[in-house]
Structure 1
């Protein structure tokens, strides 16, 4: 690929400087009055159960949809150096779960399901505590007695977030086949990645910043920490023995039952080297690689043995993205002039 061809490809790409809510097509900076039709009829390919939930709780569903977007962004960050990097899941006005790849049983499928479910849990939990939703508020629970501080503030309502994520995400898995059962498991693993890592945050009260009185509350973990945890789960994902699945139990190939927090898959992943429309996989031609890396982003691995070109390019990419309730994303555009190695 010549430098002119590569620059031509860059110019032909859609602008990524400012991404609003691509699914709901809401181009707003203020919290809208959420008409159920705006949310439920715009978000594509809802199941009937999801649509009914959306009609009843449009504000919660809007937060859930934003949680899916946050999950896909985190998926792109965590797998940015891999041959399949989640980029095909973020298409304008598209439900990421409609991707053909998510109909398969790959490790990458497991990660996408888990990170999406985690995103919904995380976002709905936070929206509750911000007073954005009619159906929930702060979690006012007291987590035991402690002499060093008092429970107060406004804890993130992780219980409500987990329950709604389960109802909204699991309702698409109506079949009882191996694929649906593994999707349900991976959805739960994603929710658990948030629930099991809830953190205590505290604030001091007193004269001149002293800590005469300290109040604490529970908060969902930073989502990057959730992504890091699920990435480790992805790297250690467990293959399920299909022959045992018909018995109603998911069994690992070594005969043991997986843990609830494990990510599961049942099909060997393809190479993802070449474009494959059946899997909605773009291949790796044109991807930036690192010729000095020992990781999966090295040019030998990422370029699948096709080689690479060294080019000087002016590159623009989305950066410093911020998510706003409800339901959009604003990003800056960062531009770089640099020498890059690009897969042939």
Structure 2
């Protein structure tokens, strides 16, 4: 197949593109190379993908609808994987306009560009953050998501709703994947694993919010990729009924949680990094940050029903793999 992927220089995009290329598919990537974090890391990811003859890339923002339209028409993809977004809960407090522009406007522009193409399936990246103030754990796809706690979460929920309307109006099969705290080699420098590893290896303190009384459903990158690869050839039908959870009754659209299904406390997460690095963490305890949620926990029964796959990578093995990559990348 020919896959058009936005955010191909990002963390998830890089790993997914590598897998798709290895499986014999062609990938056209689009990435804006925004400076939210070290652009050198993004360019290094793209450079490794460019070594494959079936990978081609464009560098522009999705807000540039003219270039986006031209790239989509030229690619004529079988599958579209939309991973590009302005990420990060805390940064949305500092630069909210970036989230509306990149996430809402960018998603609209992409769907508008591909609606008339013979696309078999659109995969739309969403996030566990859309569950917001929800306390009914584990989170299921049919839970109401009406109380976002950050602008990041609000824009990603808006993207889901925009996607549903395009699926309904243009018969565009779409799956919105709600990712739960993705981690692993080549991960984002703004994420806790990257920041904690950097500071622990450097003998610097780490910021621990809410006294460590938080839990996240950490999901290893290889499990995310495997789930996506299995979902790609399984587009939803109009009004899929079995099981109804997460599926629209009026459009070829569904929501699927992609998580490990086993929340880990922040203190246990830190201990896993300490074991991987062989060093003790110096903790700087801080209050809960605005926009944060105390717990994320995915019910992945829908994913397993659709694909026969359930993520199962243990936290320690995933953290070990990240720390090994980090030491090699930074020659520590």
TM-score w.r.t. the length of structure 2 is 0.31
TM-score w.r.t. the length of structure 1 is 0.30
